[in-house]
Structure 1
Amino acid sequence: MRVEFGLGVQSDKRPGDYARLARVAESHGFDVLTVFGDLMFQPPIFPLLEMAGATTRVRLGAACLNPYSMAPYEIAGQVAALDLASNGRAYLGLARGTWLGAVGIDQPRPVAALAEAAEVVYHLLGGRTDGFDGKVFHLAAGTALRYPVQRPDPPLLIGAWGPRGAALAGRIAAEIKVGGSANPAMVVVVRDRLRAGAEPVGRSADDVRIVLGAVTVVDRDGAAARAKARTEVAMYLAVVAELDPTAGVPADLVNRVAELVDRGEHEAAGRLVPDDVLDLFAFSGTPEQVAAQAQKLIDAGVGRVEFGTPHGLTDDGGVELLGSAVLPLLRREAP
């Protein structure tokens, strides 16, 4: 399986920014452009459609949409629209979603909801009209999309850290994304968890591409890049530290960082994050440092490395440096 390189973009920009970044990324040889589906940011379909119009080669998708705040028929419509706009370059990203309690949305039965959402989406994209009667979602017989679709089966990516989500990906997905991790030790963990779902249905866990993506800050001034990355990591350390069974981040450190974040003292919180913890949850430093981190993931067996926002001390500068200085180092080594 060829190693891919992706760029993860936050949907907080102005019209035109996405097209510009997408053109730069494609010109430097990135394989995939992802837009995050984070709560209270712009819906990812807006930047993705702009990116589709500005590119001709890269694959595009949201990582991820969730079936609690968006019904599966709407998810089917959005991936169909992106696939049409990109001439068949879309992927479907699904995850349970995070922080939805802030908008009053419960998330019961997440594995069943994800599995059935995927089934409903492909049911609709495939033009089936026989209905669907699941434990979570339903389609009445005769329900069908009333517009043309580019493909009935754009590839599925499941976003998950845990054993049950990974097992689901092993059963039904082309890819699994572990968001917020740059830790090579997680690759082995995820592969084992994929196997638990893949083997009972006659699939190989090796056929599911593992994607690891995290905050990225690259700059010729490595110290400044790492300082900014510490601040970014501090804001989600309390979430990801407990999801990674290999990390061993001390609980008192997590608590102290979380207390400062809650008080809005993000830079002070970031200063508490030591180098070894920073490198588990972010790519940061000079181009050579970032490339070395990514190479460790490749050596561990990851199928795609995704460099996430904010990319650099500025977004444009970071994307340019990733493309012109980091990717060439990795392309020399990647299988």
Structure 2
Amino acid sequence: MKLRIFTEPQQGATYDDLLRVAQTAERLGFDAFFRSDHYLRMGDGDPGPGPTDAWITLAGLARETSRIRLGTLVTAGTFRLPGPLAISVAQVDQMSGGRVELGLGTGWFEEEHTAYGIPFPPLGERFERFEEQLEIVTGLWAAAKPFSFDGAHYRLVDSPGLPKPAQRPRPPLIVGGGGAKRTPRLVARFADEYNVPFLLPEDTAAAFDRVRAACEEAGRETVLLSAAQIACVGRDEAEIAQRAAAVGREVDELRVSGLAGTPQEVVDKIGRFAEMGAERLYLQILDLDDLEHLELIAAEVLPHV
């Protein structure tokens, strides 16, 4: 099981905050540093300092880290045209020496679209666009000759498909979500990894089974399976409660819905995800000032998984 650090900078973080967490995660031996792709704070609270752009952030981190993998969970398809997105990700992959992974999704948070003037089509159209985006991005990276595409929403004519990413045949592509039909089909067709975000273990297992079935139907081996869970680890009950309070959550709720408790409790729950086939866990870290939290997880959890 590989553990990855996953941040939500739209809740209030500068690039320097993210750099500090990414470099700490690298030093401590975590497998990857990921960030969300959002432009608006969710929930109440001070909206400052405002959003940071996911791929600009990752471009900077690509030059200020050396080992840790970098990616999005997940980039919103509504934010970027697929051609320029393929260029951006390929460039950051080159800048990092081949350490980038692209998580891509339909986009879902309507308020951030309204706040920044980004079109927000109905869900059905977003899925149609998402499927075309997956085909275009992967097609541009793979193309050995000019690439053309004629879809319902996007049309490309004789694109040179440049630049190419450093990783060949391409950076890993992550598709996530708990959808019962369209998501498993798209995972089976395009993805290298399927991620289930913030579901209970039994619901995560059911989602994994749907993807396994879709892969079997498509005639391919199952993809790498992963899950995202909020992390709240403490040496004792007081420290656990302190960390939960710092992010506005209740300990009892986090013990059910996330990875919360003592290091041994968290190791045991990670074992449940491993038993259902997960090979990676993304630990959602909400308090980016609490680097001692990362130190504790690295010392008391990471060696046992």
Query: Do both share a fold (TM > 0.5)?
Result: yes
Give the one of 170, 184, 190 matched to 1:172.
190
1:225 aligned residue: 240
Aligned partners of 2:234 and 2:243 also within 8 Å: no
Following TM superposition, by how much is the alpha carbon of 1:125 offset from its aligned partner in structure 2, in angstroms?
2.2
1:300 aligned residue: 276
Unmatched segments (≥5 aa) in structure 2 = 41-50, 115-119
1:150 maps onto 2:166 in alignment = yes
1:260 aligned residue: none
Structure 1 CA distance for aligned equivalents of residues 174 and 165 of structure 2: 19
Distance 1:16 1:37, change over 3 A: same
1:115 aligned residue: 131
TM-score normalized with structure 1 length = 0.76
Between 320-329 and 43-52, report the one with greater CA deviation. 43-52
1:64 aligned residue: 74
Please list the CA deviations of residues 251-285 of structure 1 after superposition, one character each: whole Å capped at 9, or x if unmatched: xxxxxxxxxxxxxxxx5xx45xx83x533422222
For residues 80-159 of structure 1, what are the structure 2 equivalents within 5 Å?
80-104=90-114, 105-107=120-122, 108-127=124-143, 128-139=145-156, 141-145=157-161, 147=163, 149-151=165-167, 153-159=170-176
% identical equivalent positions: 26
Distance 1:186 1:210, change over 3 A: farther
1:54 aligned residue: 64
Following TM superposition, by how much is the alpha carbon of 1:228 offset from its aligned partner in structure 2, in angstroms?
4.6
Paired amino acid for 2:233: V
Paired amino acid for 2:225: I
Following TM superposition, by how much is the alpha carbon of 1:224 offset from its aligned partner in structure 2, in angstroms?
4.3
2:5 aligned residue: 7
Following TM superposition, by how much is the alpha carbon of 1:48 offset from its aligned partner in structure 2, in angstroms?
1.7
Following TM superposition, by how much is the alpha carbon of 1:138 offset from its aligned partner in structure 2, in angstroms?
1.7
Please list the CA deviations of residues 155-206 of structure 1 after superposition, one character each: whole Å capped at 9, or x if unmatched: 110021111213311222111111223x32134212221134212321122x
SS class of match (2:282): strand
For residues 187-226 of structure 1, what are the structure 2 equivalents within 5 Å?
187-205=204-222, 208-226=223-241
Structure 2 CA distance for aligned equivalents of residues 180 and 311 of structure 1: 17
Number of residue pairs the alignment of both structures matches: 284
SS class of match (1:131): strand
Distance 1:204 1:147, change over 3 A: closer
Structure 1 CA distance for aligned equivalents of residues 148 and 96 of structure 2: 29
1:261 aligned residue: none
1:162 maps onto 2:179 in alignment = yes
Structure 1 CA distance for aligned equivalents of residues 134 and 163 of structure 2: 19
Following TM superposition, by how much is the alpha carbon of 1:148 offset from its aligned partner in structure 2, in angstroms?
5.3
Following TM superposition, by how much is the alpha carbon of 1:132 offset from its aligned partner in structure 2, in angstroms?
0.2
TM-score normalized with structure 2 length = 0.83
1:326 aligned residue: 301
Please list the CA deviations of residues 31-79 of structure 1 after superposition, one character each: whole Å capped at 9, or x if unmatched: 1221111342311123322332233222211111122121111221221
Aligned partners of 1:218 and 1:225 also within 8 Å: yes
Distance 1:91 1:101, change over 3 A: same
Structure 2 CA distance for aligned equivalents of residues 112 and 5 of structure 1: 32
Paired amino acid for 2:293: G
Distance 1:83 1:171, change over 3 A: same
Distance 1:102 1:306, change over 3 A: closer
Unmatched segments (≥5 aa) in structure 1 = 233-266, 331-335
Distance 1:50 1:161, change over 3 A: same
Distance 1:159 1:315, change over 3 A: farther
Distance 1:126 1:318, change over 3 A: same
1:26 maps onto 2:36 in alignment = no
Give the one of 71, 75, 81 matched to 2:85.
75
Tell me the C-alpha RMSD between the 2 structures. 2.5
Distance 1:222 1:202, change over 3 A: same
> Moved runs in structure 1, 4+ residues, more than 6 A?
none
Structure 1 CA distance for aligned equivalents of residues 61 and 104 of structure 2: 20
Aligned partners of 2:103 and 2:173 also within 8 Å: yes
